[in-house]
Amino acid sequence: MFIFRNRRTNLVRKIWRESSTDALGLEVKSQLSAVLKRLREPVLEDLLHVLQKRGQYLGTCCPIPNGRLGRHSVTPLLLMCRLWRWEDVEEEEELVRLPVCRGADGQQTECCNPYHWSRLAVPDLFLCSNPSKGLPLCDTSILSRDTVPYDGCYVEINYDDLPGGRGDGGRGDGVRPRVDAVDSVATGGTLSFANSTQGELTWCTLAYWEEQTRVGRLFPVSADNVEIFSKLPRPAPDSQALCLRTIAERDNPRAPDTVVKAREKIGLGVMLNLKGTTLSVYNRSEIPLFVNSPTLDQPNVRTFSVYKILPGYSMQVFDFVTSQNIERIADPRLRDGPYDPNAVRLSFGKGWGGKYSRQIITSCPCWIEVLLVPPR
């Protein structure tokens, strides 16, 4: 019993050291003590490893009773996120659960692992390049009442809300309708995909670019989660992984120094997650991520918008239903050159557009093209 208590006490002390509790008030120290007392020893050990790695290792869930503990005025989740992630977070509504977090039901128990959560990035607050600030030049009244209303920026919807319940086109089998091919304006050509041995379908393809050079082969994605990075982390068990450094050193060994330096800064990179009809991007790196998406742009304008996702933040960047609605009201006369309504572009560390010296994304050192396969 003495050995057990001594081991648990040592774990708690090490976690306290990671939190810089000397600068905390008595109330916060009391709140942290109340949280740690409710965590089992194996959970404490894994939590310590997560905090020491600063997010390189995401760890397992830390389930704890939901709601405030006793007389304390803050929930365990908010407390842990304030101490180790974001000091200014005020409400749990500002947080987004990552797909790796599955150890709590969110009702009776909640996960208080601070690295199982991201900060919500609202597109309107993170717009960094949009030359056009006028109203959308389109008539949204032509949309029927049966379609999801378009609000000029973003529509959030899940497959569960579609006819047939799970986006199965009314069949009731819960399987997404298969799309046999996807076209890329930037890469050219058409790619065909077949079902995997487990019946999974490719929902997107990734193309990695260094300035104007596409590096490596196209990377098909069938898992709901995919991690893109340059520093080798430990990918989640159910995620696909793409290491940019590996393919760049093999296929673009003579890249300019500016590109190599930019690539090294990508670090833990980004995590893409498909949930229903929406695609979310979580920035795990220590540099900002810049995003352009057809469903974040204003319809029927010649300009485009670029959004900035700070480290530790996530944003829903694409929605298939919104994309379909935009295509219904699209005016081809306002499109200059090739246009892909299902392509999202992500640039690591460098923005482009009206407020930057880089007017087009091919001027950015390292960027990803996400070629999405729309459900039919």
What is the tally of helices (H) and strands (E) in the chain? 7, 18
In angstroms, rounded to a whole number, what is the distance separating the alpha carbons of residues 111 and 61? 6
Residue 116: count other Cβ atoms within 10 Å of its Cβ: 25
Which residue is associated with the tokens 């498909």?
Answer: 274
CA nearest neighbour of 182 among 172, 170, 190:
190
Residue 31 region, left (φ>0) first, then alpha (ψ -120 to 50), else beta? Answer: alpha
| 277 residue type, one letter | T
> What does the block give as tokens for 66?
């939901």
Q: What percent of the chain has pLDDT over 90?
A: 41
pLDDT value at residue 16: 81
Q: How far apart are CA 242 and CA 226, in angstroms?
A: 8
Looking from the CA of 259 toward its CB, the CA atoms found within 13 Å total 23
State the Cα–Cα distance between residues 59 and 238, nearest whole angstrom. Answer: 14
The reported pLDDT for the residue numbered 29 is 82
pLDDT in the model for residue 149: 30
Mean pLDDT, the chain, whole residue set: 77
Residue 132 pLDDT level (bands cut at 50, 70, 90): very low
Average pLDDT over residues 338-348: 88
- What mean pLDDT is predicted for residues 347-355? 91
Lowest mean per-residue pLDDT among 233-242, 258-267, 330-339: 330-339
Q: Which pair of tokens denotes residue 270?
A: 């980004």
Can you say whether residue 243 is alpha, beta or left, with left for phi > 0 and alpha for psi between -120 and 50 degrees?
Answer: beta
Residue 238's pLDDT band, with cuts at 50, 70 and 90, is: low
Listed residue (215, 239, 237, 238) closest to 228, CA to CA: 239
pLDDT band with cut points at 50, 70 and 90 for residue 163: very low
Higher pLDDT, 243 or 138: 243
What is the arithmetic mean of pLDDT over 148-175? 33
Task: Provide the pLDDT for residue 340.
Answer: 82
For residue 195, which amino acid is it? Answer: N
Task: Locate 143 and state its tokens.
Answer: 């949309």
* Per-residue pLDDT at 69 exceeds 90: no
Quickly state the pLDDT bin for 220 (edges 50, 70, 90).
Answer: very high
Q: What is the pLDDT of residue 19?
A: 73
Q: Looking at mean pLDDT, say which of 2-16, 172-186, 333-347, 354-368 comes out highest.
A: 354-368
Mean pLDDT in residue range 359-369? 95
pLDDT in tens, 7-60: 888 888 888 888 755 556 777 888 888 889 889 999 999 999 999 988 888 989
Q: Phi/psi of residue 306, each to 5°?
A: -125, 130
pLDDT at 126 over 80: no
Q: What is the largest CA-CA distance in the chain?
A: 78
Query: What is the reported pLDDT for 221?
Result: 95
Query: Which residue, among 156, 160, 164, has the nearest Cα to 96 in the 3D structure?
Result: 156
Do 364 and 347 contact (CB within 8 A), yes or no?
yes
